[in-house]
Structure 1
Amino acid sequence: MNFELELEHRMIKDLVARFVNDELIPLEAAAMAREADGQRFALLADERARLDERSRQLGLWGLDAPLDAGGSDLSAVAMVGVNEAIGTTVTPYVLPPDSPNLRMLCDSADDAQRARYLDPYARGVTRSAMAISEPDAGSDPGALSTTAERDGDGWVLNGRKIWISHASEADWTIVMALTDRSKGKRGGISAFIVERDTPGFIIERRIPMIGGLSTYEIVLENCRLPATQLLGREGEGFVPMQGRLSNRRLEMAAWCIGRAERAVALLCEYAKQRTTFGVPLAERQAVQWWVADALTRIHACRLMTYEAAARVDAGQDARTQISMVKVFATEMAWTVIDHAMQTLGAMGMTKELPLQQMASEARLMRIFEGPSEVHRWVVARSVL
């Protein structure tokens, strides 16, 4: 049993870490300052363009995209290492393209869809979004009410989607809809690719979230699509959707490892310098225990995440393990970051340091892609 990344994958992780340190972390202060002034926590267009160009130059574009689409086709295990490095910064940038939507296209797209959507997406020409949740259907896909009904040789979609990230800048969105209500998630859910300018596809509102982030609500109002926009086969959208969610949950776990490691580093740096009542914080037992617990939890989380990713690479069913990882990683990161903020005191609350942004994002990740309670239910259900 090997607990280390292969040499090639370690080299890629190290390259990403240098990219983070040289290009991303220097942008944190400006992004946090804009958010503190009431703007969104986002990169400026020129900042994103420069990062895109630099990541291309370094060969970091499309790391898990298929070889025939110009990518490196990295394994799930290798991508955990990549995302650990990305997770050490709060600068809102992820190496393009967005992996989960990419994987869903790889799993379901036909040749024409690969040419129209997958290939440009893998090259970074287009951006995407994913529309699953609804006002009355969050973690239970069986409760979806958005419908797709046949109309001649096409489809008509009606419904409402919510909590959609990147909807405003997406060139196309994967929309999950009911095509057979009687079958529900067991053969009644299909996926559709909806281009941004399609009549009846309406971005109704932006929803501000904690940490200066945003999601969107989408309305589908007699949204007519040709048959070519059905992604995969009719009624077979649920399994690829679950695969897409599993991919994102592994990403989140890796980000949490990176966030927690950065938080511990900030904690230790401050604790060595700060003296209270004549004693360095680093000599306080409470602080020492927080550090020890943090390092232990990070180590455990890393092993859990790599094991789950290895199952994915081996083609095994990893849903239960990924649910375990989703709960453990997000709650671990939240606790570690909270202890770092407590150690730094008032300085930990400022928007001059990344801890407050890390805390907001860690809190969001305990909800996004399935709340902890639902994942605990999934784990328990596997044995009860």
Structure 2
Amino acid sequence: MSVTTTASPGFPAPALDGLPAVTAALAACAAAHDRDAELPLADFELLHGAGLLTATVATRHGGPGAGLADTARILRALGAGDPAVALVTAMTLFTHAAEARTPYWPAGPLAELLAESAQRPVLVNALRVEPELGSPVRGGLPATTARRRGDGWELTGHKIYSTGAYLLDWLLVWAATDEERPRVGSFLVRAGSPGLTVEPVWDHLGLRASRSDDVHLNAVPVPGDRVGPLALPGADGSRHSIGGAWNGLGLAALYLGVAGAARDWLLGFLHERTPSALGAPLASLPRFQAAVGEIEVSLAGADRLVDALAAAVDAGEPGAAEQTGGAKLLATRAAIDAVQQAVALVGNHGLTRHHPLERHLRDVLCARVHTPQDDSVLLAAGRAALDRVRPR
């Protein structure tokens, strides 16, 4: 289903038909962003003007209410243009989508978020990963601690891999209370709060402009009305299942966008490259035609898998959300393999910074680090298969 008419004047319907132009605009600046390892706000002003940054705002709030299928379409297009912009955008889209499914923002902060988002780009991300804990998906309590201070709370802790940290307006900080039986939840922190600092440590191989820096919280005050629901660890597994589906398929689509951009560059290169000994473009050789065919078939299958399963999740089909981990694995492997094959085909041309293929390779490799990671997906799938035929 395409979202086209349900938005209010405050939240225009996302201009899905204009995605190719957005992709081209982002691609024109992507190399510079990668080189400088930073993103200007102008990129997000472009997305905000096209209704893409608020596409998943709930219809009850006057938003478009885009589902996972349309979100995957958006992120694939943004990933083809600049995956760093796409990743920062994904975090905001996922936040609005989570609120649309299960309201968890307190009324006051939600009103602020929506009012500001209608007027300008407002970026949000959930900060969960920590130096000692790693990703909380594998279990454990956060070391970031929330302590009662009067009617509110005080946060102290250290978050890492905080995508877009220096651009964020709202930080959803996952923390544990210091109660006798600790509860966990998201504490809504505004950028610029006292005690909040961003440490610019991000220096990775790929997605350099995403600025997934460290965030330090030193007795950051959080008013009592800026706290999401607090629960004992492990509660509300159904919510996490649907959220995991959005994360897995949305990011798979993003990296398929990177692979699509690499393929498109390869096609142009093979048509243009005419070795003197051959006297014809490389595109005329059956060996290159077959190799391109393998890339094309693999990416087309992965695109179709992601799109079909995203539509199934939107439709509430039983078991669809549980299949998304495997789909993410297959899709990201297809994306990585496609870019690696493209590099192998063109040799040194694929590894020089004069061409974008080396950047696409660095960026697409980041697909492996996102939750759910391959080992977790395969372990769960293997156990489920073995349980189906367990001797009685």
Fold shared by both chains (TM-score > 0.5): yes
Going from structure 1 to structure 2, the CA distance change for 1:193 and 1:83 (only over 3 Å counts) comes to: same
Match of 1:73 among 41, 44, 65: 65
C-alpha distance in 1, partners of 2:204/2:357? 17
Match of 1:127 among 120, 123, 129: 123
C-alpha distance in 1, partners of 2:91/2:215? 22
C-alpha distance in 1, partners of 2:253/2:81? 12
Alignment-derived partner of residue 216 in structure 2: 219
Q: RMSD of aligned C-alpha atoms?
A: 3.2
Alignment-derived partner of residue 378 in structure 1: 380
Please show how residues 140-159 of structure 1 align to structure 2 within 5 Å: 140-141=136-137, 142-143=139-140, 144-159=142-157
**Contact 2:15/2:51 (CA < 8 Å) preserved in 1?**
no
Please show how residues 3-18 of structure 1 align to structure 2 within 5 Å: 13-18=16-21
Going from structure 1 to structure 2, the CA distance change for 1:218 and 1:239 (only over 3 Å counts) comes to: farther
Amino acid at match of 1:300: G
C-alpha distance in 1, partners of 2:105/2:70? 24
Residues 158-202 of structure 1: CA distance to partner in whole angstroms, max 9, x if unpaired? 322111011112122001122389978xxx431111122333333
Going from structure 1 to structure 2, the CA distance change for 1:111 and 1:289 (only over 3 Å counts) comes to: same
Alignment-derived partner of residue 363 in structure 2: 361
Going from structure 1 to structure 2, the CA distance change for 1:78 and 1:366 (only over 3 Å counts) comes to: same
Given the two structures, how large is their TM-score scaled by the length of structure 1?
A: 0.82
Going from structure 1 to structure 2, the CA distance change for 1:175 and 1:252 (only over 3 Å counts) comes to: same
The question of 1:263 aligning with 2:262 is answered: yes
Match of 1:206 among 195, 201, 204: 201
**Contact 2:145/2:177 (CA < 8 Å) preserved in 1?**
yes
C-alpha distance in 2, partners of 1:180/1:99? 31
C-alpha distance in 2, partners of 1:103/1:305? 18
How far did residue 301 of structure 1 move?
1.0
Identity of paired residues, percent? 22
Amino acid at match of 2:187: F
Alignment-derived partner of residue 274 in structure 1: 273
C-alpha distance in 1, partners of 2:319/2:223? 34
Going from structure 1 to structure 2, the CA distance change for 1:298 and 1:344 (only over 3 Å counts) comes to: same
How far did residue 324 of structure 1 move?
1.2
Going from structure 1 to structure 2, the CA distance change for 1:202 and 1:82 (only over 3 Å counts) comes to: closer
How many residues align? The count is 365
Residues 209-229 of structure 1: CA distance to partner in whole angstroms, max 9, x if unpaired? 223333111223333322212
**Residues 167-176 or 84-93, more deviating:** 84-93
The question of 1:311 aligning with 2:312 is answered: yes
C-alpha distance in 2, partners of 1:360/1:267? 16
3-state DSSP class of the match of 1:62?
A: coil
**Residues 157-166 or 233-242, more deviating:** 233-242
**Contact 1:326/1:375 (CA < 8 Å) preserved in 2?**
no
Please show how residues 24-103 of structure 1 align to structure 2 within 5 Å: 24-25=26-27, 27-28=28-29, 31-33=30-32, 35-36=34-35, 39-42=36-39, 44-45=40-41, 47-48=42-43, 51-52=46-47, 56=49, 58-60=50-52, 62-90=54-82, 92-94=84-86, 98-103=92-97
Going from structure 1 to structure 2, the CA distance change for 1:206 and 1:240 (only over 3 Å counts) comes to: farther
Going from structure 1 to structure 2, the CA distance change for 1:139 and 1:307 (only over 3 Å counts) comes to: farther
Alignment-derived partner of residue 343 in structure 1: 345
**Residues 367-376 or 327-336, more deviating:** 367-376
Which ranges in structure 1 are unaligned for 5 or more consecutive residues? none
C-alpha distance in 2, partners of 1:125/1:51? 9
Going from structure 1 to structure 2, the CA distance change for 1:181 and 1:300 (only over 3 Å counts) comes to: farther
3-state DSSP class of the match of 2:355?
A: coil
Going from structure 1 to structure 2, the CA distance change for 1:208 and 1:131 (only over 3 Å counts) comes to: same
**Contact 2:252/2:367 (CA < 8 Å) preserved in 1?**
no
How far did residue 336 of structure 1 move?
0.7
Going from structure 1 to structure 2, the CA distance change for 1:223 and 1:34 (only over 3 Å counts) comes to: closer
**Contact 2:106/2:227 (CA < 8 Å) preserved in 1?**
no
C-alpha distance in 2, partners of 1:239/1:87? 28
**Residues 164-173 or 367-376, more deviating:** 367-376
How far did residue 364 of structure 1 move?
1.1
**Contact 1:167/1:216 (CA < 8 Å) preserved in 2?**
yes
C-alpha distance in 1, partners of 2:122/2:382? 40
**Contact 1:148/1:177 (CA < 8 Å) preserved in 2?**
yes
3-state DSSP class of the match of 2:85?
A: coil
Amino acid at match of 2:19: V
The question of 1:116 aligning with 2:112 is answered: yes
C-alpha distance in 2, partners of 1:122/1:8? 17
Going from structure 1 to structure 2, the CA distance change for 1:123 and 1:325 (only over 3 Å counts) comes to: farther
Going from structure 1 to structure 2, the CA distance change for 1:314 and 1:73 (only over 3 Å counts) comes to: same
3-state DSSP class of the match of 1:98?
A: helix
C-alpha distance in 2, partners of 1:383/1:119? 48
Amino acid at match of 1:328: L
3-state DSSP class of the match of 1:148?
A: strand
Amino acid at match of 1:295: E
